Structure 1
Amino acid sequence: HFDTTRANIEFSGAVAEDFLTEVGKHPEERADFKGNMDVEKLEKFINEKGVENIPLCMITVTNNSGGGQPVSMNNIREVKEVCKKYNIPLFLDACRFAENAFFIKLREKGYENKSVLEIAQEIFSYADGATMSAKKDALVNIGGFLALNDDELAMQCRNLLIVTEGFPTYGGLAGRDLEAVAQGLEEVVDEHYLEYRIKSVEYLGNKLVDAGVPIIEPPGGHAIYIDAKRFLPNIAPDKYPGQAIVCELYLEGGVRSVEIGSVMFGKYDDKGKLIPAMMELVRLAIPRRVYTQSHIDYLIEIIIEVYKNRKKLEGYEITYEAPVLRHFTAKFKPLG
């Protein structure tokens, strides 16, 4: 689950559980589909907690909190089989479905001669529903949608939508934005665009690896993720090494990035002690159809400069945090 998905789940009173495949937990290890779900752990969890306590299962394509890593078609199929066995609806967090489909075309046997559109259609065929932030693979700056194949559930959602967002035909959006979403969904499956997109991110990742900067490997679809644990091994998770890098990148070169670690996913135990996130990362998400190679080269220079001076960096402490999604509005001060 990514941050906003998790927050909405937990705000409703449920608990979001993650079953990332083991290789996905190790930034330095290379594998084709590090976004896969651990199917064995999923089924074990269902048996332990009881089907009646699990309203749905969700796969995120690609895995945003784990490096933009793709999920294989075989894994989606296996998860669907488990969900079908226990009569649990399978949903997709489909923000980057086209990038995921392109990785399947490149890396999964049997799909090399299929179009990205055909692969995407197969991905969605296994789902009972999907959530989509259109700001990603619909190539627009606002909007999103909820897709369902349950008419009764869809009607319940429409009724709630009228109260909270607007009528189902527009959902609080202007008509021009809806038209842009429709256009973007067609353009995003263009393989020339996707090749340019994936190779741009790969170029950035490979240059950083060559310079010794620790990142999640292999490079993901939409972003490069710096491994803050290896970048700043001297700064403990409760001093937020990822946030230290985020601040320094901005001070050094005006580069805006985001911490995906214990600021975003950390929790407190009963005694108020931080329970760190599984990984401490800094995400450098690349805007679509905006940057040229010279922009990326500038970014590389800034990151390498910060890395060279990493021993001068100090941790941060939180001076203000909201009870939900604290990373959006948290305030910090440097230590030392």
Structure 2
Amino acid sequence: MVSYKSKSVERISLPSREERERNLQQAQYNVFNLPADAVFIDLLTDSGTGAMSDEQWAALLRGDEAYAGSQSFERLESAVSDVMGFEHVIPAHQGRGAENVLYGTLLGDTPDAVVPNNTHFDTTRAHVANQGAAPVDCPVPDAHDPDADEPFKGNTSLEELRAVVDDVGADQVPLVIQTITNNSAAGQPVSVDNTRRVREFAEEIDATFVIDACRFAENAYFVHQREDEFSDATIEEIAREQLGYADAIVMSGKKDGLVNTGGFVATNDPDLFDRCKQRAILYEGFPTYGGMAGRDLAAMAVGLREAVTETYVADRVEQVRTFGSLLADVGAPVYTPTGGHAVYLDAAEALPHLEATAFPGQALVCALYREGGVRGVELGSFAFPDTDRPELVRLAVPRRTYHREHFEHVAETVKTVLENSGAISGLEIATDPAIPELRHFTAGLEPVSP
């Protein structure tokens, strides 16, 4: 049952096929380069692309824009404490700004550090590498199996964690990260039991344990549905329990903060808080605004509270599940079970005639835009070079934005693309940026010559 109604709408239109083909060529076959008004259904990301509630819009108007000691910051601080259980909050302009603050603080004293994560996402991997550390993925084996019917395929592998430490030594692992939900593993959830065990492991090797909490509420909903211990708990109770095992969290408010900009670092460690605060002043701004306007702080304070209401999060996750079912019904190779924020397609299965070197995921992304004006994103060998990851295409669902008719259009687009998949050619990189962890944002491509 949908838990909201629309109070404002935006007109959208589908460009002609000739325009879409021309747009792709001008964008060098990288959909990040497409102008938004050339996209009909935009599923590139769920980060900052959702619709805010009337209560959030009201909070915007009440925003306190004071440089220091803003009342809007006090509201955010209170929301983080009530919803997530952390006393100290350092705002940032968005999640990657928060990553810079936290990982720059934690990794500065350990040359050649190794940082394990259930699976690093692009900016996390880049920030770790930027500090001279080596990001290492430790997913459970089922994470790379699109058909495995397991409830928590986003979990961290304790065996892989131990193998990392056995290989380099505990002194070289100052930090352990867990991402919930696991975006790079098809948005799969992480169990509270697994988080507990990772916390125990981090204590054992004297490492700081950080949770990337940007989709913490969606993860809590899956825990409520799938982990027997929490079947009677509220979403907020589960979130506080799971996040409470972390020494610190890094948060993009553009996901489960339900806002269009902003993020933060939160911790209960006063020493870590002070160290992060000093770095934040250098990179983000004074610690009570952190690169954000007061009105955006106020909207995120409301959004965090809305995110853990069961009516909201149930509607959110079930909408994604319905979208996945529509795609499966037209024969799309959907990664299952569907996650909380996106539906992932197995591009290697959809385009079996293309080798990984021809970037089948990016080829599928371009085909979806060419056919129906749908923008998704590749999260396979193009986005994550030199990693052993499946060739996935993510169709991320903006929060409270699209309706069934939009998803039906996407499903029809996917159906037509699959029916003509043999005609889709591979791609090769024409221009390659300097930072390999971020190449998919700006690299230019061109079709492979027949």
What is the CA distance between 1:153 and its match in structure 2?
Answer: 2.2
What is the CA distance between 1:206 and its match in structure 2?
Answer: 1.6
- TM-score if structure 2 supplies the norm length? 0.72
Larger Rg: 2
Q: Which residue in 1 is equivalent to 2:405?
A: 294
What is the CA distance between 1:62 and its match in structure 2?
Answer: 0.3
Structure 2: distance between partners of 1:231 and 1:177: 41
What is the CA distance between 1:296 and its match in structure 2?
Answer: 1.1
List structure 1 runs of 4+ shifted beyond 3 angstroms.
none
Q: Which residue in 2 is equivalent to 1:315?
A: 426
Partner letter of residue 317 of structure 1?
Answer: E
8 Å CA contact 2:326–2:408 kept in 1: the answer is no
Cα deviation digits, residues 80-120 of structure 1 (max 9, x gap)? 11111222111001110000000000011121110000000
**Runs of 5+ unmatched residues, structure 2:** 1-119
Structure 2: distance between partners of 1:295 and 1:207: 11
* Residue 54 (str. 1) matches residue 173 (str. 2): yes
Once the two structures are superposed, the pairs formed by residues 3-152 of structure 1 within 5 Å of their partners are 3-152=122-271
Aligned-residue sequence identity (percent) comes to 46
Structure 1: distance between partners of 2:192 and 2:173: 23
DSSP 3-state at the match of 2:256: coil
Cα deviation digits, residues 291-317 of structure 1 (max 9, x gap)? 111111111111111111111101001
DSSP 3-state at the match of 1:121: helix
Cα deviation digits, residues 143-201 of structure 1 (max 9, x gap)? 00011232222222211211211101000110010001101000001111111111111
Which stretch shows the higher mean deviation, 95-104 or 247-256? 247-256
Q: Which residue in 1 is equivalent to 2:439?
A: 326
Q: Which residue in 2 is equivalent to 1:280?
A: 391
Q: Which residue in 2 is equivalent to 1:208?
A: 327
Q: Which residue in 2 is equivalent to 1:271?
A: none
8 Å CA contact 2:176–2:207 kept in 1: the answer is yes
DSSP 3-state at the match of 1:283: strand
Which stretch shows the higher mean deviation, 162-171 or 203-212? 203-212
* Residue 153 (str. 1) matches residue 272 (str. 2): yes
Structure 1: distance between partners of 2:153 and 2:329: 21
DSSP 3-state at the match of 2:389: coil
Structure 1: distance between partners of 2:429 and 2:160: 34
What is the CA distance between 1:285 and its match in structure 2?
Answer: 0.2
- TM-score if structure 1 supplies the norm length? 0.95
Which stretch shows the higher mean deviation, 300-309 or 152-161? 152-161
Partner letter of residue 131 of structure 1?
Answer: V
Which stretch shows the higher mean deviation, 115-124 or 230-239? 230-239
8 Å CA contact 2:174–2:206 kept in 1: the answer is no
Structure 2: distance between partners of 1:259 and 1:175: 34
Partner letter of residue 445 of structure 2?
Answer: F
What is the CA distance between 1:72 and its match in structure 2?
Answer: 0.6
Cα deviation digits, residues 189-234 of structure 1 (max 9, x gap)? 1111111111111111122223221121111110001101111111
Aligned CA-pair RMSD: 1.1
Aligned residue pairs: how many? 328
Q: Which residue in 2 is equivalent to 1:335?
A: 448
Which stretch shows the higher mean deviation, 151-160 or 235-244? 151-160
Structure 2: distance between partners of 1:225 and 1:188: 23
Find the partner of 1:179 among 298, 301, 304. Answer: 298
Partner letter of residue 89 of structure 1?
Answer: T
Cα deviation digits, residues 225-248 of structure 1 (max 9, x gap)? 110111111111111000001111
DSSP 3-state at the match of 2:395: strand
Which stretch shows the higher mean deviation, 36-45 or 133-142? 36-45
DSSP 3-state at the match of 1:263: coil
Structure 2: distance between partners of 1:287 and 1:257: 12
Which stretch shows the higher mean deviation, 163-172 or 148-157? 148-157
Q: Which residue in 2 is equivalent to 1:270?
A: none
Structure 1: distance between partners of 2:391 and 2:167: 30
* Residue 197 (str. 1) matches residue 316 (str. 2): yes
Structure 2: distance between partners of 1:160 and 1:76: 28
